[in-house]
Structure 1
Amino acid sequence: MAKPVGTVTRGTTNPNRLRRMDRWIAASHGPELRRTPAPLAVDLGYGAAPWTALELLHRLRATAPRTQVIGVEIDPARVAAAKPYECEGLTFRHGGFEVPVPGRPALIRAANVLRQYDEEEVTAVWQRLCARLQPATPHTSGGLLVEGTCDEIGRRHVWVALGPEGPRTITFATRLGSLERPSDLAERLPKALIHRNIPGEPVHAFLRDFDRAWAAAAPYASYGARQRWIRTVRDLSVDWPVRDGVTRWRQGEVTVEWESLAPRR
């Protein structure tokens, strides 16, 4: 067998750490999974414990019951430790960015995997993973790669969604009760943007405007943090290409077109 592509991560994991990402995937990609006869989802780099893969299976099957999940880890000891947790619809394999699974996945989730890599390596990894996705057809948008970073207990999370053609959107998600200002999410920017939060870069301007809109929406705090967030995102959408609507915003999310925040070269 060829050597897996990549390096071993810290492996930090906690139950429910990726719930915000999973909720968004189920809502945004659920219809695509249901249209796929035998949808395969990959939890790439699930870490030292199999909890996130088990949770992904349960959350996706709630919206697409035929979904199968394969957890892929580059550390063979972690694969061996996860094997006892295999069940109907869930298996574990040794591998890395080559994604050694049969066929083309409808979903690859890579959470907290690229944080340790250099920024210059991100594009090549994205391209490699996107090439493994289920291709788009005249009636489908193809598979989805979701890559991002969150804190240890999943309160703050930022992820990029990519299709076979490349990056599509970036989503900021948070537990609203723990948020002082939207720019607090900057510490969880994915590797492609974490070093770009500086004057002159789009992501810096976005977070600046996000904070200003949050401050302007302060009177709505009397109705709760959720109402303040919704008002903030509504105002932010005047100048930025915000996706979705109140149904997603009230979850403590905001999704923006990737091109509007992409790094300037």
Structure 2
Amino acid sequence: MSSRPVGSVTRGTTNPNRLRRMDRWIAAVHAPVLRRADDPVAVDLGYGAAPWTAVELLHRLRTVAPRARVVGVEIDPARVAAAAPYACEGLAFRHGGFEVPLPGRPVLIRAANVLRQYDESEVAAVWRRLCARLAPEGLLVEGTCDEVGRRHVWVALGPEGPRTVTFAARLATLERPSDLAERLPKALIHRNVPGEPVHAFLRDFDRAWASAAPYASYGARQRWMRAVGELRAGGWPVLDRPVRWRQGEVTMAWEALAPVG
């Protein structure tokens, strides 16, 4: 491995509980892999100026995989030093970047709000580098959320490349599904324009949301679930089940939303 970290220092802004929606999804869909791994190591890549997200990731993963370990990786050495007092059994911090300075291959790399500060042209190369570091059943989860974690969109990738895109929101604060467009990950945020699949998806989602307006009297959750069901009935490849929709989520096949060309 290179002795010099790969990447650039980001703003490092973070808040407690900011990544709870992503963490819940990871724990739900990746638990079997974490449990059967010989060494279930997860990486919180670019945890920022404070180590809250790494601490929370460990606690959430251990609810489904008691042997899970988390390594927080930061490119800014001052942030690594500041996080050191929070190290404990199962939680460590290391100086590094996209090279992921671990001796083995992690079963999870979570990179939240990191690539948002890079150019779109750099995303594919970073994805390839990180996916190459994964264990055979490993998962890379890369995405963006707002400052308090109410709106979040992420891409899940395996060693072979991107698999899915998940949209998640605190539904009580959502006026329409397309409000999530401002939190699209870097690979998609500039593609929310006519002619691109993600634009068509958000347009159809807004239409389904409007059609489901009568269900709002039963709560935003019921309206969301009805709208997602309408999307699936209309031919969009929704991959998850109503149990996830109830959490204010919907997961789509990457191929359906991938940028044109």
Q: Structure 2-normalised TM-score?
A: 0.99
Aligned-partner SS, 1:242:
coil
Aligned-partner SS, 1:33:
helix
Amino acid across the alignment from 2:134: L
Aligned ranges 1:109-124 → 2 under 5 Å? 109-124=110-125
Q: Does 1:145 align with 2:140?
A: yes
In the TM superposition, what is the alpha-carbon distance from 1:49 to its structure 2 partner?
0.1
In the TM superposition, what is the alpha-carbon distance from 1:243 to its structure 2 partner?
1.0
Amino acid across the alignment from 1:5: V
In the TM superposition, what is the alpha-carbon distance from 1:102 to its structure 2 partner?
1.8
Q: Does 1:58 align with 2:59?
A: yes
| Unmatched runs of 5 consecutive residues or more in structure 1 | 136-141
In the TM superposition, what is the alpha-carbon distance from 1:226 to its structure 2 partner?
0.4
Give the corresponding residue for 2:256: 260
In the TM superposition, what is the alpha-carbon distance from 1:115 to its structure 2 partner?
0.5
Q: Does 1:26 align with 2:61?
A: no
Give the corresponding residue for 2:76: 75
Amino acid across the alignment from 1:180: E
- Which of 222, 234, 239 matches 1:227? 222
Q: Structure 1-normalised TM-score?
A: 0.97
Distance 2:112 2:232 in 1: 27
Provide the aligned length of Structure 1 versus Structure 2.
Answer: 259
Distance 1:90 1:186 in 2: 34
Give the corresponding residue for 1:240: 236
Q: Does 1:86 align with 2:87?
A: yes
Distance 2:257 2:246 in 1: 22
Give the corresponding residue for 2:172: 177
Sequence identity of aligned pairs in percent?
A: 81
Q: Does 1:213 align with 2:214?
A: no
Amino acid across the alignment from 2:7: G
Give the corresponding residue for 2:6: 5
Per-residue Cα deviation, 1:98-137 (whole angstroms, up to 9, x for no partner): 00012000000000000010000000000000000001xx
**More moved, 30-39 vs 51-60:** 30-39
Give the corresponding residue for 2:39: 38
Give the corresponding residue for 1:101: 102
Amino acid across the alignment from 2:145: C
In the TM superposition, what is the alpha-carbon distance from 1:96 to its structure 2 partner?
0.1
Aligned-partner SS, 1:63:
coil
Distance 1:224 1:190 in 2: 28
CA-atom RMSD, angstroms? 0.6
Per-residue Cα deviation, 1:220-265 (whole angstroms, up to 9, x for no partner): 0010000000000000112210011110000000000000000001
- Structure 1 residue runs of 4 or more that deviate by more than 6 Å after TM superposition: none
- Which of 165, 183, 186 matches 1:188? 183
| Unmatched runs of 5 consecutive residues or more in structure 2 | none
Amino acid across the alignment from 1:156: R
